[in-house]
Amino acid sequence: MALRTIREYGDPVLTKKAKPIKEMTPKIEALIRDMLETLYDSGGVGLAAPQVGMLKRLVVIDISEEQNEPHILINPEIIESDGEQKGMEGCLSVPGKSGMVTRPNHVKARALNEKMEPIEIEGVELMARAICHELDHLDGKVYVDLVEGELYDNDDLVPVEDEEDEAADMGQETEETNGEA
Ligand SMILES: [Zn+2]
């Protein structure tokens, strides 16, 4: 396993559409392992293959604090979404920043797992936000284009102690956004 370099906003790879994965290969297996390791090392909750420079339709998501509930989504597609949530969002490719983004509150997606078996994943709140955020990366979209108002420096954000559920950070954990202050 190895950590991969996370590409930052401004890198053209983040604006390109990723290609479907047709079959599992040792290379893709290694990519999945490396992406999980890179995600856990970064403290984020999701990572898409284009963020490590690979234009493949693959994302990994783990919103658990223990980093022991990995979801591996190959060729994912959102098949249902409803409701609305507003919250601060961040991205590993835009380090140290966050901004207000409106997302559906409930999302259901279809994908293949690492064995190329069809799966469905469903979530609300942070999970729904993470699915939307990571799937956007596969279409070359970065959340900064969806930010309502300013893109803040995390250092300037005032901690909000009793609003943990407002915190949704696909990127680096900070005291300000994850409520662990
Ligand atoms: Zn991101």
Q: What residues have their beta carbon closer than 5 A to ion ligand 1?
A: 91, 170
Is 161 catalytic? The answer is: no
pLDDT at res. 179? 35
pLDDT in tens, 51-110: 999 999 999 999 999 999 999 999 999 999 999 999 999 999 999 999 999 999 999 999
The answer to whether the CB of 94 falls within 8 A of the CB of 174 is no
Q: Exposure of 33 by Cβ count < 10 A (0-12 exposed, 13-18 middle, 19+ buried)?
A: middle
Rounded to a whole number of angstroms, the distance between the first and last alpha carbons of the chain is 32
Give, in words, the CATH class of 12-178.
alpha beta
Any idea where the domains of the chain sit in the sequence?
Answer: 12-178
Distance 152 CA to ligand 1 centre (A): 15
User: Looking at the predicted structure, is the pLDDT value of residue 167 above 80?
Assistant: no
Predicted structure pTM score: 0.88
**Spatial separation of the C-alpha atoms in residues 74 and 91, rounded to whole Å:** 20
CA 129 to chain centre: 8
Distance 10 CA to ligand 1 centre (A): 13
Catalytic residue among 84, 134, 166, 173: 134
At 154, the pLDDT band (50, 70, 90 cuts) reads very high
